Each structure stands twice: as structure tokens, then as C-alpha cells.
Amino acid sequence: MLRLMIFLLVGTTAFSVHAQSDVPLPSWNDSASKAAIVDFVTRVTSPGSPDFVPVPERIAVFDNDGCLWCEAPLPLQVEYVLAELKRRAPQEPKLAKNEMVQAALKGDFEQLLAGDHHDGLMEIIALTHSGMTTSEFDQQVRDWKDSFHHRRFGHDLKGMTYQPMLEVLAYLRENDFKTFIVSGGGADFMRVVSEELYGIPPEQVVGSTSRTKYELRDGKPVLIKTMDYLFVDDKAGKPVGIHQFIGRRPIACFGNSDGDQAMLEYTTIENPHPSLGVIVHHTDATREFAYDKKPPSSGKLVSALKAAPERGWVVVDMLKDWKQVLVGESD
């Protein structure tokens, strides 16, 4: 209630000088988007409110690429694949001779994305995401993380996350929400960085997965990564992943592309609890990237954007709604 009062006060008092830390979402302008998020959280957490939701049911899900961190000009996991191939090719002649590896190292994405199933891309993902133990993979991702600099902004990985979305995560957790990532990205990949970047522990990361193989190697338990039983946590796969990994329906869902439409539906249509659907729309070509119909890589936003008004989903305009975009941005 205090939080609501502060918000209303700030919203109506242009020259308010309240300390930012008292106000939720300080990097958000006082727009309708911010008001909708704060209003929802206030409603579901106010004891006695007809919209009150018990703590265990306060599940919030977030897409990752383009929703919590930048996905342009290439998704960061694709940057990882390219960096790995570049690192390994000089030491592994067989790898270096692979046609798709050569396409990747030349930056020939047309070849990698050819065909309905993007066979080239799948091949270089398999080459960099299977055949090693989970510990070896984790170490490779950590090494990459430590050396990463974004090709346009020069930021490190933390600097590629969205400051306003980190504030949403923190705000929801302060209000006893459990925050989950539900992303098409690889679960093993994201779990290496999710705790440090977002405060989201590995067990709250739902992503694309394939099975590992357990064995005792020289008496020591190892899990070997394979591409078997690949589960792609995207589009209709997102509600499927939410059910399989979380086992209950979220009441808040944040996405940014048509790949998130199914989980936005699953969260907001005929949910017995009040619910919130939010789409982050990339509209800021200066501070980040502007795209929807023609995204730089993945992440087309057409159908979900069209459905938003009817569904009551909040569309966040990054240009207008956010004071700051990337964490790495200098003020």
C-alpha cells in the first residue's frame, strides 16, 4: 500500500524529489507501461484484495534474448558458438575442415540458416554443445563470458542486460514472486551466467535442453552432453516447458517476440488468477536496436504485437518508456 501511495504521488507530482530507491522501477519513465506493472503487482500482493495471489502462486516468467539481454546483431549464444569455433579451429583440423564451421567463421549466415531446419546452424550448435562433459561446457562458457565484448557497444556481458528489466526482476522478487527464465536459449548455457547477471538460480532457468548421459569415468561421476531428445523451448514449446519444468501456470509473463506469444496466452487467457502479459518492443535504434518485422536475427514481433490490444498485453516502448536501456550505457 505504501508502495502504491508513493507511486501515485510520484505519478502526479512532476517535481517530486523522492529518493529513487524508494520508488519501484527507477529507470522507467512514468508511463502507462510502468503504471500497469506496478498496479498489477500492488493488486496481487495486497492482503484482503480480491485480486490477492498467495505467495507460492506468484510465478513470473521472462524470455531472455531481447527481453533480459540484447539479442542483436546476433543472439549472444550464437556469439558464443562463433567464438568457440574460432578458438578451437586452429587446434582441431577436422573441425576446421567442416563446411558449416567454415561458413560460420566467414560469417556466412545465409548458408547456416538455409533450409527449413537451419541444418547448418544446428550443426555448429551440436559441435559446440555436445560431446563434452557438463563441467567442461560450463568452464568454456565461463571463459567466453570473461573475455566477451559486444561487437557494437564494447560492453561486457553484464553490460548487455537491460537495466529496466533487472529492476522488474528485483521488484517482483521484493514482492515474493519467484522469477524464472523461459527462453529458447540453451538451459546449460544460460545457467552459467543467470545467477550473476539476473540473480536467477540455475533451477529457475527453463530453456532448450537435450539429454545428458551419465557415467562413472575413472570412478568419477560425469554427465556427457548429447543432442538426443532435443527440446526446443520456443513458441508452443514455451508453455510445454513451463509445465514440464515449473509445473504451474505463471501469473506474469514478459516476452519480446512471436516466440513468446504462446506463453503470453498461457499466462493470461482464462487464468484463475489475475495475470500480466508484457511485450518489450525494440524501438530505440540509438541506444540499442529498433526492430520488429525485420529483426536483425531471430525475434520477429508481428503476430504477438497484433494480438496485444485484444489480449490486454502491455507493450513497452523502449524508446519512450525507458530512461536507460543497457546496464553498460553511460548516463
DSSP run (H or E) holding 167: helix 163-174
Nearest to 71 by CA among 291, 315, 306, 236: 291
Query: Minimum distance from CB of 314 to its own copies (Å)?
Result: 19
Using CB atoms within 10 A of its CB, is residue 57 exposed (0-12), middle (13-18) or buried (19+)?
Answer: middle
Sign of CA dihedral 104, 105, 107, 108: negative
Cα distance between residue 137 and residue 200, in whole Å: 20
Query: Minimum distance from CB of 313 to its own copies (Å)?
Result: 14
Closest to its own copies by CB, 34 or 249 = 249
Query: Minimum distance from CB of 125 to its own copies (Å)?
Result: 17
Closest to its own copies by CB, 43 or 178 = 178
Cα distance between residue 114 and residue 104, in whole Å: 13
Enumerate residues 6+ apart whose C-beta is below 8 A from 239.
262, 263, 265, 266
Closest to its own copies by CB, 270 or 331 = 270
- What are the residues binding its own copies (CB under 8 A)? 56, 59, 134, 178, 180, 187-188, 191, 195, 201-205, 209, 211-216, 219-221, 223, 229, 231, 236-237, 239-240, 243-248, 262, 265-266, 269-270
Query: Minimum distance from CB of 301 to its own copies (Å)?
Result: 19
Query: Minimum distance from CB of 24 to its own copies (Å)?
Result: 25
Query: Minimum distance from CB of 328 to its own copies (Å)?
Result: 25
Closest to its own copies by CB, 102 or 134 = 134
Closest to its own copies by CB, 83 or 240 = 240
Using CB atoms within 10 A of its CB, is residue 73 exposed (0-12), middle (13-18) or buried (19+)?
Answer: middle
Sign of CA dihedral 30, 200, 266, 247: negative
Closest to its own copies by CB, 134 or 324 = 134
